[in-house]
């Protein structure tokens, strides 16, 4: 029997939708395996550059004050330059992986499909919708970002040149922080409003089999508080569960990390961290963390997907009823 849109339905959609006993666990397991694997590979490949950065920082610390401090700092961070292409590649891979999991999540909610990962038309459309979502966030928060970046770089340059004392630097940064905090207090409610109203866009992209962004606005009309309330309740309770289980994993794995010379004061000894035992402990912790994050990610999709399923212009249940009569 078709169900009307309601707060109760939005809150429990992730627990009532098709394949409720198997899909969330399969989703979280795959998310944890892929995320842990990609993160481990990235850290392993970056370890050489990170070691060189730590070595350069230690060498710079042991030298007298250079004639051109700014050039010394620039050369120090120049050691990290080889990571830039890898960071760009990692961003693209993360974008693709997110789209694959988001599309899989929404296919369960909208099409009642079992869990499956693939890369096709759904995922390409999801990538485009995600990019539009990112642009919305960028437009809303570009001013605070520019203030933070410009003031930090400019003030640091002045400190290095000696035109600004450390006390003046601290005072300037506190002033900038106060301005940014005030802007965030204003912009955060604006972002919450737009994010809630546009949140069905991901489910609508799967439902309509086309890129949907502004088209999600009518779907959330009159449903703002149920969608937001259900999302916040799931996020808060789920976030507490993620934090609790992650903390337990840390406690259980801490002896392994301590046995790998986890505490060190000498930079060269950092190389001793990268032992098989340390990698195993870190991978185990990341797996647990990503597993819980995957569960939370999927359940948080539920409220907005429930709204999309009850699209006033033609919901999924309406389509199924018409198909039954046909």
pLDDT over 80 at 266, yes or no:
no
Q: Is residue 23 part of a domain?
A: yes
Per-residue pLDDT band for 317 (boundaries 50, 70, 90) equals: low
**Which tens digit of pLDDT belongs to each residue from 15-27?**
999 999 999 999 9
Tell me, yes or no, whether 58 lies in a domain: yes
pLDDT value at 151 more than 80? no
Q: Please answer whether residues 305 and 110 qualify as being in contact, where contact means their C-beta atoms are separated by less than 8 angstroms.
A: yes
Does a structural domain hold residue 49?
Answer: yes
The domain tally of the chain equals 1
Confidence of residue 68 (pLDDT cuts 50, 70, 90): low
Q: What is the extent of the structural domain holding 146?
A: 7-312
Q: Which residue has the tokens 């402990």?
A: 281
Quote the CA–CA distance of 321 and 326 in Å, as a whole number.
Answer: 9
Within a domain: 265:
yes
Of 102-111, 194-203, 262-271, 290-299, minimum mean pLDDT range:
262-271
Residue 321 forms part of a structural domain: no
Question: Is the pLDDT higher at 282 or at 170?
Answer: 282
Among the residues of the chain, which ranges form H helices? 7-16, 23-61, 69-78, 83-111, 121-161, 166-198, 201-208, 224-258, 276-300, 302-309, 316-325
Token look-up 């001793």 returns 272
pLDDT in tens, 166-212: 677 677 778 778 888 888 888 899 999 999 999 999 999 999 999 99
Q: At what angle do helices 7-16 and 224-258 cross, to 10 degrees?
A: 40
Q: Who's near 309: CB < 8 A, 6+ residues apart?
A: 13, 109, 110, 203, 207, 315, 316, 317
The answer to whether position 202 is within a domain reads: yes
**Domain-located, residue 139:** yes
Answer whether residue 318 is part of any domain: no
């Amino acid at each position: 029997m078709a169900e009307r849109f309601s707060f109760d339905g939005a809150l429990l959609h992730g627990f009532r939708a098709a394949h409720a006993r198997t899909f969330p666990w399969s989703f979280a397991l795959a998310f944890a395996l892929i995320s842990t694997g990609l993160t481990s590979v990235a850290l392993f490949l970056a370890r050489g550059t990170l070691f060189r950065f730590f070595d350069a920082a230690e060498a710079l610390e042991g030298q007298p004050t250079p004639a051109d401090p700014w050039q010394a700092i620039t050369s120090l961070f120049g050691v990290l330059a080889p990571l830039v292409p890898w960071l760009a590649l990692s961003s693209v891979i993360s974008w693709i992986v997110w789209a694959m999991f988001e599309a899989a999540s929404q296919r369960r909610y909208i099409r009642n499909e079992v869990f499956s990962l693939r890369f096709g038309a759904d995922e390409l459309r999801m990538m485009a919708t995600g990019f539009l979502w990112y642009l919305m966030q960028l437009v809303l928060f570009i001013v605070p970002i520019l203030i933070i970046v410009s003031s930090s770089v400019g003030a640091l340059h002045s400190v290095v040149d000696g035109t600004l004392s450390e006390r003046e630097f601290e005072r300037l940064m506190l002033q900038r922080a106060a301005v940014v905090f005030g802007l965030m207090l204003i912009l955060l409610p604006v972002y919450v409003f737009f994010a809630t109203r546009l949140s069905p866009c991901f489910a609508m992209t799967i439902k309509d089999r086309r890129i949907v962004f502004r088209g999600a606005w009518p779907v959330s009309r009159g449903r703002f508080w149920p969608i937001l309330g259900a999302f916040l309740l799931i996020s808060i309770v789920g976030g507490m569960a993620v934090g609790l289980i992650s903390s337990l994993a840390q406690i259980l794995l801490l002896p392994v990390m301590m046995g790998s010379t986890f505490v060190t004061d000498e930079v060269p000894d950092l190389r001793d961290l990268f032992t098989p035992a340390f990698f195993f402990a870190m991978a185990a912790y990341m797996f647990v963390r990503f597993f819980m994050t995957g569960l939370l990610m999927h359940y948080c999709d539920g409220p907005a997907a429930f709204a999309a399923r009850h699209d006033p212009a033609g919901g999924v249940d309406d389509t199924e009823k018409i198909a039954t009569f046909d």
